[in-house]
């Protein structure tokens, strides 16, 4: 979160900005000898009823005390209307009924407007918290999913290449450190994410050895770019999980990551068994990661991404474009 975002989210700044904006508007529309002083007095006069309504009365409606809340809401308007009329009429020496109607209408409009702003802001904050909670849940689901797949890979390595297991365990340690600690933020350095992917691919290279032709390429300027963590690994895991043996040659995995004009273009493909379909590959345990990554993309990059998953003959391919 940038310093500007923190400032905008600050409640004190929001309130001060709103009242200053109203002060400028009232200074422009009020006709008086000293418009600024008159507008300042008017703002100071309407601040108490607005905050009483928003901070003390509105919560009653959410505590199943609607009738009591409605009563206090009306009393709040009438009380400050009475004070306003008293001040304007020199404590009823120059009272006119029209004055009562005007002041009551003004307070009613101002308090309803303040209520609407309060409800809109609370609704926005609530949706943001729900979104953050869902993202945390999705990330919590992804980490065990990654660990399950990686431990399965290491089990295979322990059987066929036990002498290489110590160094591979160190690589796994680096992978887990990243997935458990470095991914707590909503966005991470793209360079770190790329290093994480390279470590994972190197583990798979050793496990598969001469059984598959694995290609990984990268191009563009990744410095200073950020991305949602553990987003691309799901597709790479599926590449290796569903890698099919080819009777006429090696299985193939191709992965590329490009940066161009503040866009990330990720592509991966792998050969699969002919009878497998896209729908079958997205069902069961493998579907957990794919479903989660779709949800995370919709939450983190709404209208900023394109995801294409295709199967042509015995080749399964994924293309993901993210506009940063």
Of the listed ranges 23-37, 129-143, 172-186, 304-318, the least confidently predicted one is 129-143
pTM of the predicted model over 0.75: no
- Report pLDDT for 143: 55
Most confident of 68-82, 165-179, 267-281: 68-82
**Cα 48 from Cα 278, distance rounded (Å):** 61
Most confident residue range from 47-51, 132-136, 173-177, 237-241: 47-51
Range from 67-76, 115-124, 185-194 that averages highest in pLDDT: 67-76
When the pLDDT of each residue in the chain is averaged and rounded to a whole number, the result is 80
Alpha carbons within 13 angstroms on the beta-carbon side of residue 92 total 3
Segment 24-41 shows an average pLDDT of: 80
Average pLDDT over residues 58-86: 87
The fold for domain 130-323 equals Heat Shock Protein 90 (3.30.565)
Ordered by start, the domain boundaries in the chain are: 3-95, 130-323
Q: Please provide residue 234's backbone torsions phi and psi, each rounded to the nearest 5 degrees.
A: -60, -45
What is the arithmetic mean of pLDDT over 260-285? Answer: 72
87-142 tens-digit pLDDT: 877 777 777 777 788 888 888 888 898 888 888 888 877 777 767 656 665 565 55
- The span from the CA of 307 to the CA of 249, in Å, is 30
Number of Cβ atoms within 10 Å of the Cβ of 271? 23
Mean pLDDT of 10-14: 81
Q: Residue 75: in which H helix or E strand, if any? A: helix 66-88
| pLDDT for position 38 | 80
């Amino acid at each position: 979160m940038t310093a500007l975002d923190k400032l905008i989210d600050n409640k004190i700044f929001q309130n001060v900005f709103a009242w200053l904006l109203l002060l400028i508007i009232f200074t422009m529309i009020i006709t008086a000898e000293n418009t600024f002083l008159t507008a300042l007095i008017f703002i100071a006069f309407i601040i108490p009823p607005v905050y009483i309504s928003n901070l003390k009365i509105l919560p009653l409606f959410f505590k199943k005390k609607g009738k009591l809340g409605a009563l206090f809401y009306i009393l709040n308007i009438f009380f400050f209307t009475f004070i306003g009329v008293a001040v304007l009429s020199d404590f009823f020496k120059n009272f006119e009924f029209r004055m009562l109607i005007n002041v009551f209408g003004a307070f009613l409009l101002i308090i309803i407007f303040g209520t609407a702003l309060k409800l809109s802001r609370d609704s926005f904050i609530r949706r943001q918290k729900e979104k953050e909670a869902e993202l945390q849940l999705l990330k919590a689901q992804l980490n065990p999913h990654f660990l399950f797949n990686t431990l399965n890979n290491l089990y295979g390595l322990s059987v066929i290449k036990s002498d290489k297991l110590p160094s591979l365990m160190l690589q796994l340690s680096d992978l887990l450190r990243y997935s458990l600690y470095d991914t707590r933020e909503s966005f991470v350095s793209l360079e770190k994410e790329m290093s994480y992917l390279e470590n994972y691919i190197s583990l798979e290279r050793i496990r598969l050895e001469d059984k598959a032709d694995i290609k990984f390429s990268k191009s563009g300027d990744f410095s200073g770019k950020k991305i949602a963590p553990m987003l691309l690994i799901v597709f790479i895991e599926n590449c290796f999980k569903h890698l099919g043996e080819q009777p006429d040659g090696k299985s193939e995995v191709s992965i590329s990551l490009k940066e161009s004009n503040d866009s990330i273009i990720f592509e991966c493909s792998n050969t699969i068994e002919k009878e497998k379909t896209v729908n079958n590959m997205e069902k069961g345990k493998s579907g957990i990661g794919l479903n989660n990554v779709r949800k995370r993309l919709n939450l983190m990059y709404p209208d900023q991404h394109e995801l294409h998953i295709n199967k042509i003959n015995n080749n399964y391919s994924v293309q993901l474009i993210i506009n940063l």
